[in-house]
Structure formats: C-alpha cells, structure tokens
Structure 1
Amino acid sequence: MMLRKTSTRIAAAALAGLLALGTVMPAHAQSIPPGVPLIRDTEIENLLRDYARPLFRAANVGGSQTNVVIINSRGFNAFVANGRRVFINAGAIIDSKTPNELIGVIAHETGHIAGGHLVRLREAMERAQIMAVISMLAGVGAVAAGAAGGRSVSGVGEAAPGVLTGGMQVAQRSLLSYQRGEEAAADRSAITYLNATGQSARGMVETFKRMQDQNLFAVRNVDPYTISHPVPQDRVQSIEPLAKASPHYNAVDPPALIARHDLARAKLIGFMDRTDAITRRYPPTDVSLPARYARAIQMFRFGDRNRAAGMADDLIRAQPNNPYFHEIKGQILLETGQPGAAIPALRRSVALAPNAGLIRIMLGHALVATGNPAVLDEAIRELRLALQREPEAPDGYRQLAIAYGRKNDRGQADLAAAQASLYEGDLTTARGLARRAQGSLPSGSPGWLRAEDIWNQRRTPN
C-alpha cells in the first residue's frame, strides 16, 4: 500500500466535487488543504473497479477515463470530481459491512456522473451568486431610498444588515434546494443501475439507515432547508419502497466477492487504525484470514517486523496464489531494510498479477535498493513496464532516476526525476530538470521531446 498526496490541481478538482454522502457544501470544502492524501493499492483498486465497472456500463459512463480513487480519510464519504473520478474515503470501505453496501455508494456517485451534476452544480452556484449580487444591489438601493426619503440615519443603519443579508440567504437556500434535488435524483438513478446489473439496493438502504441512526440527534434541531443533502431518514423513506419493489432486492453478494471485500477492509484497518483498535476489531480468538491479514500488518507497523514477515508466510501458505500476500511480504522486507530478501516475494507477486504496475514499481525499488549494479538493467526494465501502467506514479520515476543515475546516464536520470517532480506537483523543479535533461539527450529523440513537453507545461497534470 502506498500513500501519496495529489497535485494542487487534483485537490482543486476535489474541492469542486459534489460531496454525496457528507453534509459539506462545496463552498465550504475549500477548508480542505491542497494535496488531498490518496491511498494507492492494487488489491483494493481492483476490487473497486470490479464494483464500479458494471454500474458505469449500465449508466453509459464507462471507459478508461472514469475511475475510482481512494482518499486516506477515516470518515464515511464519497464524491465526484471532474465528472469522471469517483473519490471514496477509506472509511467508507472500512464501514461498508458488505460489498453491496459499498456498491450502493458507487451507484449513487455514478448517478452524479451520468446526470452531469457537477457541471450543473457549478451553473447553479453561478446563478446563486448572481441572485445574491442582485439582492445585495437591491438592498443597497432600498437603504439609499430610505435615507433619501428622510428616515433617520440610525434607522437606516439598523435595517441595512437585514435587507442586505436577506437576499443572500434566499440565494443560498435556492442553491441548497437545488443540491438536495440532485442528491435525490442520484439516489433514484443508483437504484436504476443496480436493477440493470441484477444487484440489490438493500445495501443503499442499510447505509442510509446507519447514517440515520448516527445522525439522529445531530439533525433533530437542524432546519432541513439549510443543508445540502436530504436528511438520512427522508432518503430512507424515499428509496426503501423503490428498493423493495425490485426483483433483485433479495440478491446476495457472491462468496468470493465477500472474501475479497473482507480482506480489503482488513488491510485498510491494519494500515490505518491504532494498534488497540485493530486488536478490538480482530481479537486473537479470530483466526479468519482477514483477521490474520490485519494482524500481520499490525505487527509490521507496531511490533516485531521479522515476525510480521513470518505472519505473511502464514498467509501465503493459506493462499499460495494470492499476489497480494506475496506483495505484503515483499513490502515488509523492503521497508525493514532487506531489499534482497524482498525480491523473490515481489517477483512472485508480479508473476501472479502481471498488470499490477504498483507492485512492479515496488519490485523495481527493491532491485535498486540492493545497490547491486548487476540488477540495474532488470530494475530499469521493470520500472519502465510499470510506468506504462502507472504513467503518473512519482515513486516509479524517482526509482528510475536513481537507476539511470547509477548507470551514469544523466539525460535519462534527469528526465525521470523531472517526471517525478511533475507528478508530485512541483512544476518549477520539473521544468528545471527537463531543461537540464535536454542538454544530455539527443535533440529530437523521444526523451528530448518529452523533456520539451515538461518544459512547456504551465500547469501540473491531473
């Protein structure tokens, strides 16, 4: 599992996103700092893609440009950004007890994408701003007219705040009403897509019921016209009859999917929670595979790292062909300063999951970290293959730069370092390295042209 922060541009897109399960207005979301922390993990990303792919097809929003991104946050939330990315908090994955619950969340977000809600929300925000400005100008006119009509200055001054803010409140409520309508539409669309794919909407209902229980006291005294989403109890009342009317309401998740879901939750819990919380969730009496997975990661983070590698071996004995158990063993060994020992596990993981660019990057990292010149060519080969799958992975370019540097290939080393900086959002450094790379690369070569592209960048990618 890899953690990284997005470039400022991704962060800005996220801030403009439609927060579908939270209660935060996009205008208020600007408090989120630039550099949204993401989780990159092949196992979990593949699971989410398998959840999302049928829904995207049903909504006719499929294709390589639509994907699911994991945010490193324990809160339960999901939202759409750029009209093609679904952002899901790790907490939503952890708290979804079944695949169907999380599939319901993705179905709801698919409704936002298919409905073009992000574009329409921006238009609604512009209309609300115009309404607020008109109301403010009208208020100023009313205040001026009052003063010209002979009202006392003090009287006009006391009335002014109410006159000026009243129009702004009307504009805000209009926007909030619009958002609540879009949320309700996304709920209905979600049920349509679930029906089209032969899946139950029971998970959606259960999610909103859980939110209803959690928010029972929080929303008791809240004016429903001043929030951006329908309150959970209203959503339950709206979608439960539709869900129960579906012929697929009693459909159940396949056992293999449940097993993958439980492992993904265990992995996130192992990497994200405190050691006491992990032990409470998976006590020693729990000998299930997810519990053993979480405890191996817990041991890696908080205990005896050598023992953690042995616990990973135990997982491998249980499922020898699970690439992610070999991956976790390789990660444990690599991050405990044993890159040579990590290589066989990572090679096996790559053999079992040849399309997993992130795992290949880890293998390339291990090869570079050995300091053995004899494996540099293999490291470069693995990293270049990985970057074909993960063309925006800074870690891959960083390791590639080190490998080329050790081979005294300054042009390729500077080019790789430039790309690492580019995808980390550091455009100034990226452009400087790209210009330096051009001094060592043959003019007009593919590498030289790529460096020229970076030099000409005016904004970071993503």
Structure 2
Amino acid sequence: MKHMIVAAMILFFAAPLPLAAQQRGASFIRDAEIEDTIRVISTPLFQQAGLSPAAIDVYLINDDSLNAFVAGGLNMFLHTGFLVSTTDIGEVMGVIAHETGHIEGGHLAARKAEIEDLKDQLLATYVLGLGAAILSGNPGVGTAATLATQDAMLRGLLRYNRGQEASADQAAVRLLQGAGYSPSGLLDFMKVLHGQEALLSSSQDPYLRSHPLTQDRMTYLAESVQESPYRSKPFPPDLVERYQRMKAKLVGFLKPMHIVESQYPQSDASIAARYARAIAQYRNGSIDIALEQIEALIQSEPGNPYFWELKGQVLYENGRINESIPPYEEATRLAPDSALLRIGLAAALLQLPGNDLVPSARDHLYEALKQEDDNPTVWRYLAIAEGRLGNTGLAALSLAEAAWARGNAKETRDQAERAQKLLDNGTRGKLRAEDLQRFAENELKKKKN
C-alpha cells in the first residue's frame, strides 16, 4: 500500500503541516498504522479473489461522506467518513469485499476508453501526504483527488449498473466466506444506505449514487447472512482491536472535541478511547495533557510503535525537535519496515543544526525509497541531505527524481542536466541522470505535439 501526520496524518500538496491544518483543506491522508490495519483486513479478501495484495493500492480520502470505490484498475479509495461511520469491523470488511468484487469482475474495464481519455487530467497528478507530520506526494493519487471531489465523475466514471452491483455482492459474499467471515457487515452497511434512498440525490452519500441499491440486492444479502456457516462466528479479537484503534484515531484527529468526548467519555478506559482523547488533547493545544496521556499509553504498550510515533509527532509539531528524535527512533526500531516512520524520523533529523546526524537521515530515506521510490517528498529530503553532505551531484539527481515523480518534465530535464555536469562519468548516478533527461525530453515532445 502506498499505498496520521508526523507519524499520524498529513495533508498533501503542502509543506510539513500539523493534522489540524490538514483538516482545513486536505483531501488525502497517509498513516502508517491505519494503512497497516486496512492491509491486514483486506489481504485475505484480495487473496480469495486471486489478486496480489501488493498489486492493489488503497488510498484514504479525508471526506466525511460515506463512500468507497475503485478506479483505474487496481486502486481502491476509502473515505474517512465511511470508516468513522462504521459500527464494527464487519462493515469495513464487507465494503472492501464488495469493491474487490468490482476489481475481480473487471467492471471498470468497460470504462477503459473513458478513463484513458481523462488519464492526463486524472492520473498524472496523484499526490498523497506521508505520515509523520510530513507531507508527501505520490503520483497515482491525483485520480482520487478529482474523482472524489467532483460529483460528476462519481456519477459518470464510477457508476455501476445494477447487474454489476449484484455481481459484486455475490463476489463479496464468496470472498468473505472463503476467508471465514460472515457477510453480515455488508448487509448492515447496505441497510444504512437503504435509509437514504428516499432522499434527494444531492442529500445522498456518494456511495449510494454510484452503487445503486435494489430490493433484490438487500434480499440476496439477507438470505446470504442467514445461510452463512459463519453467521455466529466472532471476528478475531486482535483484528477487532486494530479496527477500534483505527476508528478512534480518525475520530481523534478529524472530529471536534465535543464529538470525541461524546464517543469516548472519560468513563471509557479502553486503549482506543484513551488514544482518541490523547490525540484530541493534542489537537486542542493541550500539549502537556496530551503528552501525559500518550506516555500512559506507552507504559501500557511499550512495544507499540504508533504510540511512540504520536509522541514524536506532538514534540516535533511543537518545535521540540531534539526531544522528538528518541521517540521517532524507537518507533522506527519497533517497525523497521515502515517507510512512513523512517521518513518522519529523517525529517526530524534534518531539522537539527549541524551535519552529524545527516548521514543517518540519508540512510533512512534510502530505506524508505525501497517502498516509496515515486514519492517526491522523499526525494526532496534526500536532496537536502546530499546537499548538506556536499554531494551536489546527487542532490541535483534527487531533485530531478522529485520533479519526475511530480510529473514536471521541464524541471526533471533541467535538474538532470545539472546532475550530469556534477557526477563522474560511468557512475550509476550519471547514468540515471541521463535516463531521466531522456524521459523528460520525450514527455516534453509529446506535450508539444
């Protein structure tokens, strides 16, 4: 997964920003913990469909509406409004199974020509923010930006006919039961949407407008639930806990304090509730209270990398850079495979004066690139690191990579030419700069023609 802020959520199309700022205008978010949770939930469903989990990118859209959709083939988009509105993990799993059914059924293939016509407009500007209070870009998410914000696109490219919806329902039931789960969650979510059918289209959630309901669909799902051998089987406790923390994190970061306090009152001593309240205190500017509550969470689960990440975020976002480094390092030590955590740590290290820790920041960025090699933000940070270490040729090459990842052919060409003048002949960097210049010039010719 490509596919909330300094550890947790972040906005895209901006410089490092706190989550509060993201709320005011962001549309997409990246979060290491939430992405991992969605991946754990969806992997058995993808596998049941014969799809490689690694081939499917799942994107989170910061939007209050109830919506989820697939676009451009193997891209799945989930609105935070949908995730927050769910009452149990079964609903999340059910909707993901349904959308997987659309992918498996090739329902977007019939729209391929239309999508191709709009490719330049919709696909070339994908940019996602990256966790750890660092904004990050990622080509591929621009599609979501346009599709998610323009209702006309949802009614057009993303609208399925009733036959496709029935087919996706059948696939969802099969995938869920193949993974050992009841389809009851999908039925529960459809009941919520069913209650909106009498509303004017403008008042309905986008999911209902792009996924038309019929009584036959409701009847089929109800019968499937009744006949399911997993009807009374509970979900694994660890999976339920992951879901509850994901929802609590979203509520804590995205909802007003009074909603957080209503959904997670002080009387609720669960980890999820404490998590939501700590995040809400941070967002509310009560930093000392937030840090105290986060510290209590760490004491409860010292091996949880996301609690350490949140502590680093709060300190980083409040200018306490030196203090943020140890918790970021601990988060990365506990989850060394998380590119988002490494990027957050590297960003903090680069904020420190002097160059003693710049090599460490550079090492973390190169590790992150193994998963995020089309992420402009990683390349920009790497350019800073190489520049501070006196590697001007590699800094220019990194800027060329960042520009290429953003889809800026002219800047790519210019930085690649600069890199070639600074790098030694025959080196890997020089050869890559030559390739980038050639790629960029080809793109510029296409646009000119």
Structure 1 length-normalised TM: 0.76
How far 1:37 sits from its partner (Å)? 3.3
How far 1:233 sits from its partner (Å)? 4.7
Of residues 112, 115, 136 in structure 1, which corresponds to 2:105? Answer: 115
Query: Structure 1: how far apart are the matches of 2:180 and 2:96?
Result: 15
Query: Structure 1: how far apart are the matches of 2:382 and 2:112?
Result: 41
Q: Aligned partner of 1:193: which letter?
A: L
Q: Aligned partner of 1:54: which letter?
A: P
Query: Structure 1: how far apart are the matches of 2:157 and 2:250?
Result: 36
Q: Aligned partner of 1:430: which letter?
A: T
2:402 aligns with 420
How far 1:53 sits from its partner (Å)? 1.0
2:281 aligns with 299
State which structure, 1 or 2, has the greater radius of gyration over its C-alpha atoms. 1
Equivalent residues of 2:160, 2:212 under 8 A apart? no
Q: Aligned partner of 1:88: which letter?
A: L
Query: Structure 2: how far apart are the matches of 1:423 and 1:5?
Result: 14
1:91–1:428 distance in 2 versus 1, CA, 3 Å: farther
1:54 aligns with 44
- For residues 128-147 of structure 1, what are the structure 2 equivalents within 5 Å? none
Equivalent residues of 1:108, 1:187 under 8 A apart? yes
Unaligned runs of 5+ in 2: 15-24, 117-154, 445-449
SS in 2 for 1:69: strand
Between Structure 1 and Structure 2, the one with more helix by share is 1
How far 1:48 sits from its partner (Å)? 0.9
Equivalent residues of 1:79, 1:86 under 8 A apart? yes
1:88 aligns with 2:70: no
How far 1:57 sits from its partner (Å)? 1.1
1:352 aligns with 2:334: yes
Of residues 414, 419, 441 in structure 2, which corresponds to 1:437? Answer: 419
SS in 2 for 1:80: strand
How far 1:295 sits from its partner (Å)? 1.8
1:245 aligns with 227
Report Cα offsets for 1:54-102 as digits up to 9, x if no partner.
Answer: 1111111124222322112221111112211111112222122211110
- For residues 38-437 of structure 1, what are the structure 2 equivalents within 5 Å? 38-122=28-112, 179-218=161-200, 229-231=211-213, 233-437=215-419
- Single out whichever of 230-239 and 358-367 deviates more from structure 2: 230-239
Q: Aligned partner of 1:83: which letter?
A: G
Report Cα offsets for 1:306-328 as digits up to 9, x if no partner.
Answer: 43222211110111111100111
How far 1:246 sits from its partner (Å)? 1.6
Indicate the structure whose relative CO is greater, using CA pairs within 8 Å and at least 6 residues apart. 2
How far 1:199 sits from its partner (Å)? 0.7
Q: Aligned partner of 1:89: which letter?
A: H
Total equivalences in the alignment: 384
Query: Structure 1: how far apart are the matches of 2:282 and 2:375?
Result: 25
Query: Structure 1: how far apart are the matches of 2:384 and 2:160?
Result: 52
Query: Structure 2: how far apart are the matches of 1:178 and 1:85?
Result: 16
1:179–1:275 distance in 2 versus 1, CA, 3 Å: same
1:178–1:325 distance in 2 versus 1, CA, 3 Å: closer
Query: Structure 1: how far apart are the matches of 2:366 and 2:344?
Result: 12
Equivalent residues of 1:78, 1:109 under 8 A apart? yes
- For residues 11-30 of structure 1, what are the structure 2 equivalents within 5 Å? none
SS in 1 for 2:181: coil
Equivalent residues of 1:312, 1:325 under 8 A apart? yes
Equivalent residues of 2:252, 2:279 under 8 A apart? yes
SS in 2 for 1:87: strand
| Identity over aligned pairs, percent | 38
Q: Aligned partner of 1:102: which letter?
A: V
Equivalent residues of 2:49, 2:175 under 8 A apart? yes
1:232–1:332 distance in 2 versus 1, CA, 3 Å: farther
Could you list the runs of 4 or more consecutive aligned residues of structure 1 that deviate by over 6 angstroms after TM superposition? 123-126, 173-178
1:250–1:266 distance in 2 versus 1, CA, 3 Å: same
2:123 aligns with none
- Single out whichever of 281-290 and 334-343 deviates more from structure 2: 281-290
Query: Structure 1: how far apart are the matches of 2:157 and 2:91?
Result: 29
Equivalent residues of 1:6, 1:37 under 8 A apart? no
Query: Structure 2: how far apart are the matches of 1:36 and 1:65?
Result: 26
- Single out whichever of 303-312 and 202-211 deviates more from structure 2: 303-312
Query: Structure 1: how far apart are the matches of 2:63 and 2:345?
Result: 27
Equivalent residues of 2:162, 2:213 under 8 A apart? no
Equivalent residues of 1:209, 1:233 under 8 A apart? no
Q: Aligned partner of 1:402: which letter?
A: I
Equivalent residues of 2:69, 2:158 under 8 A apart? no
